[in-house]
Amino acid sequence: MQPRQIELRIKRIKRELTKLGPMRPGTLSMQYAACQKPGCACMDPVKPKKHGPFYQLSYSHLGKSTTRFVRPSYTGQIKKELTAYKRFRALTQEWVTRELALSQLRLELARRKDDEK
């Protein structure tokens, strides 16, 4: 790829980054649980009917892992935020990849110029 093409791609990445909406890292999972109360349907030895679903949001930030429950009515918004964060990560990663390629090309160009002297 030519430096000009890479620069254009980086420009597009920056533009898309400014358009990202609310975001958050993490994964959303669905859990079913037994309350352990004797006689409850969840404790039926033959056909246990567990409670749930409960939505659990897990994420780690600055080296700290957190898990919390999310109300079912919030899961739609949370899923949007998780998707936006994934896009953010993909874009910034690609940005760095392109910058590395660009920097490498500049180094090679400078070396070639020096060799010509």
Nearer to Zn ion, 8 or 35 (CB): 35
Mention every residue, 6+ apart, whose C-beta is less than 8 A from residue 82: 23, 24, 25, 26, 27, 28
Q: Count of CB atoms within 10 A of residue 55's CB?
A: 19
Nearer to Zn ion, 41 or 100 (CB): 41
Q: By the criterion CB under 5 A, which residues form the site for Zn ion?
A: 35, 40, 42
- In angstroms, give the least distance from the CB of 40 to Zn ion: 3
* Crossing angle between the packed helical segments 75-116 and 3-18, to the nearest 10 degrees: 160
Nearer to Zn ion, 40 or 102 (CB): 40
